[in-house]
Amino acid sequence: MTEKPNSKPIILLICFYLILPILMTFIYSICMEWRDILPHGLTFRYYIEIFTDMEFLIAIVRTIIISVVPVVICTVTVLLAMYVILLYLPGLDKYMQILTMIPYSIQGVILSIGVLSLYANAPMPLSNRFVMLTGTYCIIILPYIYRGIKNCMTTINAKNLIESAQILGASKAYAFFSIIIPNILSGIKVSLMLSMAIIFGDFVVVNIIGGNYYQTVQIYLYRALFRSGQLSSAIIVVLFLITMALSAGVYAYKKPHHDQEEI
Partner 1 sequence: MATIELKNINHFYGKNHVLKNLDLVIEAGSFVTLLGPSGCGKSTLLRVLSGLETISDGQIILGGQDITHKDPKDRDIGMIFQQYSLFPNMTVLENIRYGLKLKKMKPEIIDEKARNAIQMVELTGKEHHYPAQLSGGQQQRVAIARSIVTKPKVLLLDEPLSAIDAKLRRSLQARIREIHNEMKITSVFVTHDQNEAMIMSDVIHLFNNGKIEQSGKPFDIYTAPSTYFAAEFMGNYNIIPGQVFSTISGEDYPDGQKIAIRPETVEISSEPHAFRNEAYQFTGIIKEHTLRGNILSYTIKANGLTLKADVLFRSFKLFDDHTTVNLLIEKRNCLKI
Nearer to partner 1, 123 or 256 (CB): 256
Q: Is residue 91 a contact residue for partner 1 (CB under 8 A)?
A: no
199 close to 153: Cβ distance less than 8 angstroms: no
Q: From the list 77, 183, 243, 247, which residue makes contact with partner 1 (rule: CB under 8 A)?
A: 183
Q: Is residue 107 a contact residue for partner 1 (CB under 8 A)?
A: no
The set of long-range contacts for 32-39, using a CB threshold of 8 Å and a minimum separation of 24, is none
Q: How far is the CB of 170 from partner 1 (least distance, A)?
A: 6
**How far is it, in rounded angstroms, from Cα 83 to Cα 219?**
38
151 close to 187: Cβ distance less than 8 angstroms: yes
Q: How far is the CB of 251 from partner 1 (least distance, A)?
A: 17
**CA-only gyration radius of the chain, Å:** 23
CB atoms within 10 A of CB 160: 9
**How far is it, in rounded angstroms, from Cα 235 to Cα 26?**
10
Q: From the list 21, 90, 114, 182, which residue makes contact with partner 1 (rule: CB under 8 A)?
A: 182
Site string for partner 1, 126-165 (x = CB under 8 A): ------------------------------xx--xx-xxx
- Binding residues for partner 1, rule: CB under 8 A, are 156-157, 160-161, 163-171, 179, 182-183, 255, 257, 260-263
